[in-house]
Chains A and B, each alone.
Chain A
Amino acid sequence: MELLERYLKAVGEHLPARGREDMLRELRANLQAEIEGREEELGRDLDSTEIAKILEAHGMPVLVAARYGQQQFLIGPGLFPFYWYTLKKSFPLVVLAYAAVQGIAMILATGSADQLGQRIGSALGRFPAVALTFWAIMTLGFAVFEYVQGRYIPKLTLPRWSANDLPPLDEAPKHSFAHGVADVIVSILMIAWLLALPNRPYLILGPGLRLVHGMPFGLTPEWHVFYWQIVTLSIAMIPLKVAMLLPSLRRWRQHLDLAVHALGVMIPLVMVQVRTYFVAGASISANNLKSLNGINAGINFGFKIALAIALVNFCWEGWKLLSASHRHSADFAAAK
């Protein structure tokens, strides 16, 4: 029975101090009865291997002890939906507030464009810590509320609600025909604008064109190559967007949408590869040359962010499509 005592000692180490002796006493009585019951069946004493088997079947000491403890959770199932809802709704506000504070700080700060790129990078780098702190504070707040409700304050009771207070349905569905047509028109206008740019640069710079003429730097010659790549990608999107409007292709809408997103990823991908957007003229000063490097780095960084956003968007759309098709097959199989 030495093994039984060792087992009980191991269980006892994990039991709550209150009632521990009583629990162990009961556990000992039950396990002894089980061992004796087995011995009676076999008509002989059990050896240590057989006793070990009984104890192993009873369970690992830490898990056995855990089952005697109260069911514990940081945020219980009653409060969790409110916690999750609050997190989801307030997180975009945190992002917005952080972006506003950082934006104001950058406007007020003085320095070159190179430093601006560094500041943006460092602000982005600090954001995970801000988000984590926000999450920790919210979780702690809800955990404290979970702990005190029922103990020190009355349990949370749901407010009365009326079905009449429910928000109205959206008047237009998310993917309306009008929205699709407007998208195609805007895309065509964008292409026309892009095609007009080489001969009419005032379309991009407006009155600022005069200012640029006096600048000691100009556009890199590689622009012509990348310019045509972007025009081609933009034109390639048009038939896809038109196809999305056709009722006969409605079931392929999500696939077409994904293809449009894929082309949307290609544009910043092309722009990220440029690296040098402006090159120095013959009469550039050392100071201006430094600023030019900063401008190129800043623009490149901006396109990298755009690429990251486009990639995340593409992956999200792809995942939605995959999970929808998986759900569809599961429903189909269940219906069969």
Chain B
Amino acid sequence: MANGASHQTELFDALRLELRRGCLVLAVLAQLRREHYGYTLRKSLAEAGLEIEESTLYPLLRRLETQGLLTSEWREEEKRNKRFYRLSGEGMRILETLLAEWRGINDSVDRIVESGNLNKER
């Protein structure tokens, strides 16, 4: 029984990770319509209810920048040099397309779940 439970937890964690992966990119891109540096971005995402590990977020920012979706610059703030990121023009276009896709998927999943609930009630 314990094995079965741990297998289920593992399976859930793997599926959750898969589900979150794409959503995190979308959330990061959306949040960077306003300028942020790594720490404040993480805080703002957490405040919005989306916790993300530092060790996942910081490399992700660099990857998105390499892909041309973000721009960054080193700037001094509160007597410390920090790297600020914001969405690039290309990033903005991609974000809009991704958001449309996301809303479409969301609506479809909602409809599918709803129709499943209706069938159960019958």
Q: Which residues on A are within 8 Å of B, measured CB to CB?
A: 23, 25-27, 29-34, 37, 57-59, 63-64, 67-68
Contact = CB atoms under 8 A, between A and B. Distances in A.
Given A23-B62, A26-B38, A68-B62, A33 B55 contact: no
A59 B58 contact: no
Contacts of B53: 59
28 contacts: A23-B62, A26-B38, A26-B58, A26-B83, A27-B58, A29-B37, A29-B38, A29-B39, A29-B80, A29-B83, A30-B37, A30-B54, A31-B54, A33-B37, A33-B80, A33-B82, A34-B39, A34-B54, A57-B54, A58-B54, A58-B55, A59-B53, A59-B54, A59-B55, A64-B55, A67-B56, A67-B59, A68-B62
Given A29-B83, A33-B39, A59-B53, 15 more contacts: A26-B38, A26-B83, A29-B37, A29-B38, A29-B39, A29-B81, A29-B82, A30-B37, A30-B39, A30-B58, A30-B82, A33-B37, A33-B82, A57-B54, A63-B55
Nearest to A68: B59
B20 interface: no
A32 B55 contact: no
Interface in B38-76: 38-40, 43, 53-56, 58-59, 62
Contacts of B40: 33
Sorted nearest first, the 6 A-B pairs with minimum C-beta distance are: A33-B39, A30-B38, A59-B55, A67-B59, A30-B39, A68-B59
Contacts of B59: 67-68
A62 to B, nearest CB: 11
Contact of A32 (B54, B56, B58, B80): B80
Query: What class of interface size applies to chain B in its complex with A?
Result: 10 to 19
A80 to B, nearest CB: 18
Nearest to A64: B55
A26 B72 CA distance: 11
B36 to A, nearest CB: 11
Contacts of A58: 54-55
Nearest to B83: A26
A33 B78 CA distance: 10
A30 B84 CA distance: 11
B contacts with A: majority SS: helix
A33 B54 CA distance: 12
Contact of B55 (A23, A37, A67): A67
Interface in B75-118: 80-83
A31 B83 CA distance: 12
B87 to A, nearest CB: 18
A67 B81 CA distance: 23
B57 to A, nearest CB: 9
A112 B26 CA distance: 75
Contacts of B58: 26-27, 30, 68
A68 B40 CA distance: 20
Contacts of A67: 55-56, 59
Contacts of A31: 54
A29 B59 CA distance: 14
Contacts of A25: 81, 83
Contacts of B80: 29, 32-33
B83 A37 contact: no
Contacts of A37: 39, 43
Nearest to A30: B38
Contacts of A63: 55
A34 B43 CA distance: 9
A23 B54 CA distance: 13
A37 B39 CA distance: 9
A37 B82 CA distance: 14
A29 B79 CA distance: 11
Contacts of A57: 54
Contacts of A27: 58
A245 to B, nearest CB: 38
A67 B61 CA distance: 11
B11 to A, nearest CB: 12
A166 to B, nearest CB: 30
A63 B53 CA distance: 13
A67 B55 CA distance: 7
